């Protein structure tokens, strides 16, 4: 056995040998593989500078255990990759939803303020019109205690809520 280097079979390596008889030799046990799947089972996979242990170093006796181990390693890799991506997607959707909900809430608040300002303006305009009616009634001689009290109250409300206006 040659303990020089650990060899991993990658798709890039496999496709670079196109057109030639493909052959993979293990430097540890000197076994030669001509079947891509058998070579991948023996050498394992290398992802992100982390390589699986070569099968001959794990168990020289039972190929089925090696095959099962490789399948479990691949399933674990897929789980971690899907897990990470699915979590990123999940949290991104959550943030997007929260942002949209906040925007809609703020737009509703702004609409409510505008509606209140319109209503307030209309209410004060109605109060001013009522004062004008009361003044008109006074000018033609219709005066009552109720009218005097209502006029006084309306003026107090308007003066408290609106900036002081010059009378015309």
- Answer yes or no: is pLDDT of 153 > 90: no
Handedness of CA 10, 11, 13, 19 (dihedral sign): positive
- Check residue 59 and give its pLDDT: 57
Is residue 90 within 8 Å of residue 78, measured between CB atoms? no
Q: pTM here?
A: 0.35
Q: What are the extents of the domains in the chain?
A: 1-61
Q: pLDDT tens digits, residue range 67-86?
A: 778 888 888 887 777 666 77
Q: pLDDT tens digits, residue range 16-40?
A: 555 567 888 888 888 888 888 888 8
Give percent above pLDDT 70 in the chain.
76
Is residue 45 within 8 Å of residue 31, measured between CB atoms? no
Provide the b/e sequence for 8-32 (b: ≥16 CB within 10 Å). bbeeeeeeeeeeeeeebebebeeee
């Amino acid at each position: 056995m040659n303990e020089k280097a650990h060899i991993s079979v990658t798709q890039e390596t496999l496709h670079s040998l196109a057109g030639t008889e493909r052959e993979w030799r293990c430097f540890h046990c000197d076994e030669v593989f001509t079947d891509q799947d058998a070579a991948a089972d023996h050498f394992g996979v290398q992802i992100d500078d982390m390589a699986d242990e070569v099968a001959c170093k794990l168990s020289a006796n039972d190929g089925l255990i090696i095959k099962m181990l490789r399948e479990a390693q691949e399933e674990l890799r897929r789980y971690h990759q899907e897990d990470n991506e699915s979590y990123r997607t999940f949290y991104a959707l959550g943030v997007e939803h929260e942002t949209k909900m906040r925007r809609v809430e703020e737009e509703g608040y702004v609409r409510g303020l505008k509606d209140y300002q319109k209503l307030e303006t209309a209410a004060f305009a109605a109060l001013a019109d009522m004062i004008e009616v009361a003044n008109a009634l006074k000018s033609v001689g219709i005066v009552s205690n109720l009218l005097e009290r209502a006029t006084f109250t309306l003026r107090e409300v308007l003066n408290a809520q609106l900036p002081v206006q010059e009378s015309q």
